[in-house]
Structure 1
Amino acid sequence: MSDSRHWKVRDMEAPTPIELAMMVISLVSVVLVLVLSFATLDPQTRELLFFIDTGICFIFLSHFFIGLVRARDKGFFIKRHWIDFVASIPAIEPLRMMRLFQILRVIRLIRMTRSLLVPLLRQRAQTTLASLLVAMVLILSISSVLILLVESGAPGANIHTAQEAMWWAIVTISTVGYGDFYPVTTVGHVVGTLVIICGVSFFGVISGYMASVFVAPEQKEQAKEQQQEMRNEVEAVLKRMEENQSKMLAEIAELKARLEK
């Protein structure tokens, strides 16, 4: 009963950064399903979109099982999130439309929240992870699709399949640059330049986040030590004041006794 109340109160709170990230990725997933279902695509583009959708499914499944492990009441968690699990099953695109329920749930939380910026600022670590996750999904998805559409069929091009496009996007965003696959068209060069810039920024943020993870505990420990030192100093000052007050009262009592004589 207490867990149920906990979840009900939880629904009234602002959505966490991870929940917002899942909402954005869910929107991407729904768009992919619509494109795969209704658009006329060549086989390689369809295969690439299927790879991206499968990768997103694994992100959803990871999020579901992490939440299941951390939940106090496993049964209640499954009862509340079973739709998320069903919508995360790979290779069955129509089930992905059930992600709309999660999107609507997060939108409801956003509408009930007076300030969305304050929770994001308070949970900076989770906000950073959520932003990195969304950025990775969007950059890999958009860049691989664009490079396949631009390079496929171009004279002298070496990126023709979904696997090659996805591999090129991963290698380029990681700034490794093997050189086995590369764009030959002008538009492909522009796409590659943007992906490289995003990759450098992406890993720069990761480096800063990892540094903060190791530095933050030391800063907290230093802050605690400073607070303890200040507390000790204040206690010492108060003790001296009490001693001085006792001496003053004793002197006043002595003077009073002399005057009465």
Structure 2
Amino acid sequence: MKTKIRMLPPSAFDLVMMVLSIISVVIIVLHQFGPFSNSEKELLLKLDTGICLVLLSHFFYGLFSAKNKKAFLTTHWIDFIASIPAIDILRYGRIFQVLRVLRMLRVANQVIRHLLKHSESTMLASMLLILLVVLGGSAIAILMTEAGNEGSNIETAEDAIWWALVTISTVGYGDYYPITTAGRVISAIVILTGVSIFAGISGLVASSLLTPKAEEAEKQQKANDHQYRQEVTTQLNSLHQEIASLKEDIGSLKTLLQQKAGSDKPGA
């Protein structure tokens, strides 16, 4: 009888890495075969390098967290090689990471239960994915929209990336700004997205800080309630004993009174 190998469901961050791997492969294909200008291809390359840094961070985090590091390296060595930036041929290796996560997704119900159970990490991973996608997509969109227009100050990949970072963080230095209607629409979308993401992150941080205190207060309240119930039970038991003793005293007194009444009768 063959022993079934239990496959752990991917975490929320594993799914994010899978999506980033797909995006990275698309970026490399567009960089190699897309009809883009040199500045746009440079921007695609820089975005892919940023994704590489995220994938490498996830790899080393998993390596340091793994109890059996040799087994982890045996399973995930392709992730490390595929996440090395500036070597195009190795980047296609990320498809193996995609296939591995897709293979684990066959247990869909287990995955959903796992993600719902860890809702905070799922939400945080989703925000990270949205942040990276909006940064990359808006940088590409603004460069394609603004570059080449008269009076535009967003002409290079560095300009587009800096504009995206400043805009999504709502800092608004004003050194780079769109001059076209399409560019301003993109800016509005990026600003609203940035406000929503950072508000969500603030809420998660506040929740993570307050949850332990709330749990501690709940535990303390339960302990106080338990102690109060014990004290009430002890007092009730003592009261029952006093009532039983009082009944005995009343019974003895009643017997004495009856005996005295009998002895006081004439002829007794």
TM superposition shift of 1:250: 8.3
Residue deviations 1:59-110 (CA, integer Å, cap 9, x gap): 0110011111111111111111101111100001222222122212222222
Residue 95 to residue 242, structure 1, CA distance change in 2 (3 Å): farther
TM-score of the two chains, using structure 2 as the length reference? 0.84
Q: Is the Cα–Cα contact under 8 Å of residues 132 and 202 in structure 1 kept in the other structure?
A: yes
2: CA distance between counterparts of 1:154 and 1:129?
38
The two structures, once aligned, show a CA RMSD in angstroms of 2.4
Letter in 2 for 1:28: I
User: 1:186 is matched with which residue?
Assistant: 181
Letter in 1 for 2:212: P
1: CA distance between counterparts of 2:130 and 2:147?
25
Letter in 2 for 1:156: G
User: 1:26 is matched with which residue?
Assistant: 21
Alignment of 1:125 with 2:138, yes or no, is no
2: CA distance between counterparts of 1:77 and 1:204?
36
Q: Could you list the runs of 5+ residues in structure 2 that have no partner in the other structure?
A: 252-268
User: 2:37 is matched with which residue?
Assistant: 42
User: 2:257 is matched with which residue?
Assistant: none
Residue 17 to residue 246, structure 1, CA distance change in 2 (3 Å): farther
TM superposition shift of 1:22: 1.0
TM superposition shift of 1:197: 0.6
Alignment of 1:197 with 2:192, yes or no, is yes
User: 1:258 is matched with which residue?
Assistant: none
User: 1:213 is matched with which residue?
Assistant: 208
Q: Is the Cα–Cα contact under 8 Å of residues 120 and 127 in structure 1 kept in the other structure?
A: yes
Q: Is the Cα–Cα contact under 8 Å of residues 33 and 94 in structure 1 kept in the other structure?
A: no
Which of these two proteins has the greater Rg computed from alpha carbons?
2
Secondary structure of 1:155's aligned partner: coil
1: CA distance between counterparts of 2:88 and 2:248?
91
TM superposition shift of 1:37: 2.1
1: CA distance between counterparts of 2:228 and 2:92?
62
TM superposition shift of 1:121: 2.5
Residues 46-55 or 97-106, more deviating: 97-106
Q: Could you list the runs of 5+ residues in structure 1 that have no partner in the other structure?
A: 256-261
Give 1:61's match in structure 2, choosing from 56, 64, 70. Answer: 56
2: CA distance between counterparts of 1:79 and 1:94?
21
Matches within 5 A, 1:74-223: 74-223=69-218
TM superposition shift of 1:239: 4.1
1: CA distance between counterparts of 2:241 and 2:83?
73
1: CA distance between counterparts of 2:184 and 2:166?
15
Letter in 1 for 2:102: I
